[in-house]
Structure 1
Amino acid sequence: MRISDFCFLFAGLAALTGMTLGIVMGISQDFALAPAHAHLNLLGWVTMAVYGLYHRGTGRTQGTLGWTQVLAGAVGAAVMSGGLGLYLASGNEAIVPLVVVGSLAAFAGMALFVVIVLVDLRRSTQGKEPQPSAS
C-alpha cells in the first residue's frame, strides 16, 4: 500500500466515525462528546487527508520517514480522540495519560511532516527532485 492510500483510507474511516458520532449526538441532543468529535474530524479526517495529498503530490509512495510520519499521525488521531471521548464519557482521570500519549503522537506526526517538507524544499532548491522512496 502506498503512503497516500493509507492516509486517504484512514481519513475516510475517521470521517465516517466522526460523522456517526455527530449524528448520534444530534439525535440524542447530548453534545458532551463534541470535543472528541471535533478532534477526530480535524486530526483524523482533515490532517490525514492533507498528509495524503502531500505524499501523493510529491510521489512519495514508501520510505521509513514517510511511514513513520503518517503512522504517528494516525495513532495520534485515534488514541487522542478515542481517549478524549472515553474521558469525557466517564470522567475517569486514569484515562488522561491516554489523551496525552495520543496528543504527543499527533504532534510527532506533524513535526515529522514539517521535517519532510523541509527536506523536500531543500532538495528542490538544489535542483533535485524529491526522492519519493527515500524519505
Structure 2
Amino acid sequence: MPERDGCIKFIKISVVYFVIGVVLGYYMSVAHAYNLTGVHVHINLLGWTSMTLAGILYTLFPKTEASILGKVHFWLHNIGLPLMMLGLFFLLQGNNSLELLIPVGATMVLIAVILFAINILKNLKKEDVQALFNK
C-alpha cells in the first residue's frame, strides 16, 4: 500500500487551524475583542473545516490524493491562508502595513480551492465511490 502522507498532512494541519481558531475565539470572548471575528471565522472555515474535509476525501479516494493537484492544493492553501490571515489580523487592528498579504493569500487560497475542485471532478470516478461501499 502506498504512503498516504498527503491525507495525513491535511488532517493534522486542520487540527492546528482548529486549535488556533478556538484559542482566538476564546480570546475574543474573554477580552470582548470581536473585531477579529473575520480572522476567527476564516481560520475555522478555510483551515479547520475545509482542510479536514479535503483530508477525508483524499483518504477515501486515493487517486485524488496521489494527483499533483492534491499536492499543489495542500501547499497553496497552507501558504495562502496564513498570509491572508496575517494581513487581515493587522488590518483589523488598524495597521494596513501588511494589507497586501490579504489579496496575495486570498488568491493563493482561491487557486488552491479551484485545483481541489478540478482534482475531484477529474479524478473521482463512480467506480471509486462504488468500491468504497462494496468493501
1:86-135, Cα deviation, whole Å (9 max, x unpaired) = 2111x2223221011110011011000111012114xx36x7x59xxxxx
1:118 alignment partner AA? L
TM-superposed deviation, 1:70: 1.4
Give the aligned residue type for 1:32. N
Once the two structures are TM-superposed, the CA of residue 63 in structure 1 deviates from its matched residue by 4.3
Matched, 1:88 2:92: yes
1:73 equivalent in structure 2: 77
Seq. identity, %:
24
CA apart distance, 1:65: 2.1
Say if 2:30 is the partner of 1:27. Answer: yes
Cα distance between partner residues in 1 of 2:52 and 2:26: 22
User: Which portions of structure 1, spanning 4 or more consecutive aligned residues, are displaced by more than 6 angstroms?
Assistant: none
Residues 6-58 of structure 1: CA deviation (Å, up to 9, x unaligned): 11111000000010011011111111111111111111101111110111111
Q: TM-score, normalised by structure 2?
A: 0.83
Gaps in structure 2 of 5+ consecutive residues? 130-135
| Residue aligned with 1:24, SS | helix
Q: Which amino acid aligns with 2:87?
A: G
Shift of 1:64: 2.6
What's the TM-score, normalizing by structure 1? 0.83
Letter of the 1:78 counterpart: P
Higher relative contact order (CA 8 A, sep 6+): 1
Contact 2:14 2:47 in 1 (8 A): yes
Query: Is 1:56 aligned to residue 59 of structure 2?
Result: yes
Distance 1:112 1:49 in 2: 16
1:98 match: 101
Give 1:39's aligned amino acid: H
- Report the AA paired with residue 81 of structure 1: M
Q: CA RMSD in A?
A: 1.9
